[in-house]
Amino acid sequence: MTQTPLALGGTTYSWLHQAPLREAIDALAELGFRQIEITTAAPHLQAGAFGKYERHELRRALAARGLTVTSTNPGFLDINLISPGNDFRRASVDALLAELELAHDLEAPLVIAMAGRRHALSPAPEEACRWWLEQALDVLLERAAKLDVTIALETSPHGYLGDATRLSDLVDHVGSPHLGIAYDVANTINREDPWEGVRTAGHRIRIAHMSDTWRDRWAHTSPGRGEVDFERYAEALRSIGYAGVTIFELIDMEPPLPRLHDDIAAFTKLGWSIAETSERQAPRRPPGCSRSGVFPT
């Protein structure tokens, strides 16, 4: 019996620091992607500095290219919800509040977030970190509910609560329909068996990420270069009835083209399809939006 392919999406992150956002979006459309994650980091764009008109024009341009935004991802270079510094925590919450507004305006149902990170040499106490995180989530989820956007906490190889078990416990404790998990196989391979991780996170997974990596060297590179068993990852996602998008998060500072053609072909053989539309992330055309949007400069 032939299985329905899993939906495969791309990300503008692949072009960050290598090409403008416009080039990234054009390339993703030309490759045949229908669903994409937008990385909201400089120099491409930053949520707090991207005005309403620019957001409207970006949405029109995406629609003109047949693209829908599954999620926005600020990249988390500076954002840390459990920083011991009050000012830095406040700035991190403000950054994610702006991210929620941007996702809403782009009709993206998800914002990728990370719980934060502790200092490797002098980590703040567990009790303090958990309190800071829950205080931040209280503020963020109140806004997320009003905007009907879901926060997906991502697994992380080095971050706080970075594995499926601890993130699942947090999501269950908070108990908000606007909080879930972004499961990234390249971020967990050195912490847990991805099969077990996906099964543990289960229905809490709102979006999946994948790329190749090594157990002893963190990477987000092309399939076949590292140690990720993508076929088993696909089986794990199917085993929990996952119907969302899997974003191929290629981030290795090598030119993404032309190798993305081969990467897509490899994932197609492993059970994904760029033409597949997920049940959770169905494309939505903005009301009254024409096919001839002008891209913001």
Residue 279 lies in a domain: no
Residue 1 lies in a domain: no
Residue 282 lies in a domain: no
Residue 296 lies in a domain: no
CATH at 171: 3.20.20.150
Q: Which residues pair with 152 in a beta bridge?
A: 112, 180
Reported confidence tier of residue 278, pLDDT bands at 50, 70, 90 = low
The confidence score (pLDDT) of residue 296 equals 38
Task: Tell me if 253 sits within 8 A of 18, measured CB to CB.
Answer: yes
Task: State pLDDT tens for residues 92-136.
Answer: 999 999 999 999 999 999 999 999 999 999 999 999 999 999 999
Tell me the H-state helices in the chain. Answer: 21-31, 52-64, 86-105, 126-147, 164-174, 185-188, 194-201, 230-239, 259-270
Total-model pTM: 0.92
Reported confidence tier of residue 294, pLDDT bands at 50, 70, 90 = very low
Residue 181 lies in a domain: yes
Q: What is the mean pLDDT of the chain?
A: 92
Residue 292 lies in a domain: no
Q: How many structural domains is the chain composed of?
A: 1
Tokens of 227: 């140690």
Residue 161 lies in a domain: yes
If you search the block for the tokens 């908070």, which residue do you land on?
174
Task: Tell me if 185 sits within 8 A of 228, measured CB to CB.
Answer: yes
Task: Tell me if 253 sits within 8 A of 17, measured CB to CB.
Answer: yes
Residue 42 lies in a domain: yes
Separation CA 142–CA 279 (nearest Å): 25
Backbone phi and psi for residue 72, each to the nearest 5 degrees, phi listed first: -115, 150
Domain extent, residue 194, equals 6-273
Residue 290 pLDDT > 60: no
Tokens of 169: 């416990």
